[in-house]
Structure 1
Amino acid sequence: MTNPVRIPSDVDREDRLVANLTGRQLGIFTAAGLLLYGVWSLTHTVLPIPVFAVLALPVAAGAVVLALGHRDGLSLDKLLLAALRQRLTPRRQTAALHPTKAVPTWLRAHATADSTEEIGGLELPVAGVEPSGTAEAGVVDLGEDGLAVVAVASTVNFALRTPAEQENLVTAFGRYLHSLTASAQLLVRTQRLELSGHIGELRDHAPRLPHPALEQAALEHADYLTQLGQSTDLLRRQVLLVLREPWHPASPTTSVRWWARRRPTRAPEATGSGRRAVESRLVRRLSEAVELLGSVGITLTPLDAGQATTVLATACNPHTPPPPADLAGPDEVITTPRSGEFAEEGSWA
């Protein structure tokens, strides 16, 4: 702690190589320069320099905007590549990665219009979320990349601590980082804060308070929260710890020769005893994280299958409300409700 080093908040920021430019930006400028030089070499005998400068100006300006421009935290070249991939991807996608089966004849007879639009497969990084057989945590199936668990981490105030306490916090966190044997991710995400439930509880409990002044204060606080939610965009931050365990643990040789590492495939060990072994390693790592981080006041709360599904759903589409907890999964069989379950609503005879 004698020589502190300032670490940027964006730990994924690209390295600056030359003239405060990243390798990606240098590549764009180099490609644009070589293109303009090649065109000039072919046309300098027939085009005057002013005419070539006018024709080359849009290309140079486009390269500058493409290399230096940013929008929503992404560079414009990445946004352009994403737009091209989105344009080339079929607009209609199914959960099957390779939809080769034809539409049944009996279903085609009820179609209102013929469509020759191409159908593509929806490739998602998550194959499913299932409850763990050895713990209450939900296990996220990442397909070929293994399994993962998600836990919510509380925060501690670092700025208000004394230098000795800050050193103890850094030492404890470093001790946890040194104990890692596989991939781990600390994710800080911002999400909208919904106060309608809290406001409703305040209004419901206000009449039962022991003094009229307390009731009036509770109602005024509820009115203040309502006005605050209408006038400002309320946000809150959530810290998530994601632990991932591959199907095949990396050996010292494969960890050193990272350039020769091949992506693991779904072997027979991915089911049955192999899956239980991976889950047990995840549970053990989660227990170690709870113990090591709990010593400095950080509480880890594992997410069950429903909560982990909600986190993934809100990450994919943060502007929509989370799905209901009792919503059936895509692989679950929907059966007829029990007798009398919807009798009050008149949904069933």
Structure 2
Amino acid sequence: MNDAEPLIARIPADIARPDKIAYGLTARQLAILAVTGGIAASTYYAFRQLVPVVVIAAVALPLVALGSALALGRRDGLPLDRFALAAVLFLRSPKKVVAAPDGIASPPVWCRLRGQLPGPLSLPVRAVRSDGALELADGGTAVLVETSTLSFHLRTADEQASLVGAFGRWLNSLDACAQILLRARPVDLAGLVEALERRAEHLSHPALARAAAEHAAFLSQLNRSRDLLVRQVLIVIRDMHPPRGRRSIARDASAAVVLRRAAETQRALAALGLTANVLDADEASRVLTECLDPGGWHPTRAALPDELITGLEAR
């Protein structure tokens, strides 16, 4: 038995944490405190000869408290100044949005408008190609790779070191942006239960049929009694700088680049014992639909505009 020590590396949860410049504060916090202090000092020197100090303090102290709260406070994992900026942008943004690539047309002059017009819906993905590549709104392309998981803690120290080395080689081979997304989505076992019950009737031995029926009953009870979730691991590989030229040729070239990188990722993760699958157009569309409407019911796949919908698919 190998008693080698396992590899342990402590990584902070917030890997994008800004550097602390002085007194345990970041440059953003120091800038907010400096601006707040400058405004308070300017107020004092400008009005000290005109109004009593108590009045100046009554005006300056709330300003200093507000600046200190914005610089040092946090809310929902965000610095309070960024949280306040996001709140202001949310309040100013339209609450109703519609799919309008050409913009929202203004109503005619004779129409009396009540309320505000809806805003255009801005999505990061402009189109899903037939090969599975995503055409992004900013001009780039991306592809989704779904991968399985493995149990790291059940491996020996040598196996863990081998897995870490293989994963590190894949990370070092990346020459573009990549994102690892972990999703937990609801799952319905009704189809699996129905398949088990249907196949149990055709099993050759009565004991096998009885075991299959009991397993189907257990899955059915589990499906009714709990909200089941399944974990999905997605790797998003993106081409940040698509080639210039004709738009159609540039899109095809950029899609070919991300698909090649996805195939390389698929081969690299196979060394870890992971099963990776590059999502095609239907699977990528389904993932995007579930991300935009989490928890909702979605059919198996979306039909194309000129595709016939049969009764089985509609059900």
TM-score when scaled to structure 1? 0.70
Cross-structure match for 1:259: none
Which residue in the other structure is 1:13 paired with? Answer: 17
Cα-to-partner distance string for 1:159-184 (whole Å, 9 max, x where unaligned): 23223222212221222122222222
Count of paired positions: 303
CA contact (8 A) 2:196 2:212 kept: no
The residue type paired with residue 272 of structure 2 is V
Aligned amino acid, residue 59 of structure 2:
L
The separation in 1 between residues aligned to 2:212 and 2:128, in whole angstroms, is 45
**Per-residue deviation, 1:293:** 1.4
Q: 1:61 to 1:219 in 2, by over 3 A?
A: farther
SS in 1 for 2:226: helix
Q: 1:306 to 1:48 in 2, by over 3 A?
A: farther
- Tell me: CA distance 1:324–1:236, structure 2 relative to 1, closer, same or farther (3 Å): closer
- Residue pairs, 1:1-349, within 5 angstroms: 5-99=9-103, 114-115=113-114, 117-118=116-117, 120-132=119-131, 138-188=132-182, 190-197=183-190, 200-201=193-194, 204=197, 208=201, 210-211=206-207, 212=210, 215-216=213-214, 218-229=216-227, 235-248=229-242, 267-272=244-249, 274-322=250-298, 325-328=301-304, 332=305
| CA distance 1:56–1:19, shift in 2 (3 Å) | same
Superposed CA offset, 1:287-314 (max 9, x none): 2111111111122111122222232233
Q: Is the 8 A contact 1:199 1:222 kept in 2?
A: no
Cα distance change on mapping 1:213 and 1:301 into 2, 3 Å: closer
SS of the residue aligned with 2:273? coil
Alpha-carbon distance in structure 1 between the residues aligned to 2:303 and 2:256:
28
Mapped partners of 2:17, 2:190: distance in 1? 39
2: distance between equivalents of 1:214 and 1:312?
A: 35
Query: C-alpha distance in 1, partners of 2:72/2:229?
Result: 30
Question: 2:293, 2:54 → 1: CA distance?
Answer: 50
The separation in 2 between residues aligned to 1:236 and 1:10, in whole angstroms, is: 26
Deviation at 1:13, TM superposition (A): 2.9
- The whole-number CA distance in structure 2 between the counterparts of 1:60 and 1:319 is 44
Task: Please state how far the C-alpha of 1:143 moved relative to its aligned partner.
Answer: 3.4
CA contact (8 A) 1:147 1:278 kept: yes
For the residues of structure 1 that align with 2:298 and 2:239, how far apart are their CA atoms? Answer: 27
Show CA shifts across 1:180-201 (max 9, x none): 222222223x434334536754
CA contact (8 A) 2:242 2:251 kept: no
Which ranges in structure 1 are unaligned for 5 or more consecutive residues? 133-137, 250-266
Q: What is the CA-CA distance between 1:204 and the residue it aligns to?
A: 4.1
Deviations 1:123-163 (A, max 9, x none): 3221111221xxxxx11101334111001122222223223
Give the 3-state SS of the residue equivalent to 1:123 in structure 2: coil
TM-score by length of 2: 0.77
Q: Residue 175 of structure 2 aligns to which amino acid in structure 1? A: T
Q: Distance in 2 between matches of 1:57 and 1:154?
A: 56
Q: How has the CA–CA distance of structure 1 residues 77 and 162 changed in structure 2, closer, same or farther, with 3 Å as cutoff?
A: same
- Cα gap change, 1:100/1:224 in structure 2, threshold over 3 Å: closer, same or farther? closer
2 CA distance for matches of 1:237 and 1:67?
37
Counterpart of 2:129 in 1: which secondary structure? strand
Contact 1:70 / 1:76 at 8 angstroms: preserved in 2?
A: yes
SS at match of 1:271: helix
Q: Distance in 2 between matches of 1:295 and 1:32?
A: 55
CA distance in 1, matches of 2:80, 2:288: 26
For residue 246 of structure 2, give the secondary structure of its aligned residue in structure 1: helix
Q: Taking structure 1 as reference, are residues 246 and 280 closer, same or farther at Cα in structure 2, changes over 3 Å only?
A: same
SS of equivalent to 1:128: strand
Identity across the alignment (%): 33
Question: 2-side partners of 1:207 and 1:49: how far apart?
Answer: 88
SS in 1 for 2:238: strand
Residue identity in the other structure for 1:306: D
**Secondary structure of 2:190 counterpart:** helix
Distance 1:227 1:206, change over 3 A: farther
How has the CA–CA distance of structure 1 residues 195 and 100 changed in structure 2, closer, same or farther, with 3 Å as cutoff? closer
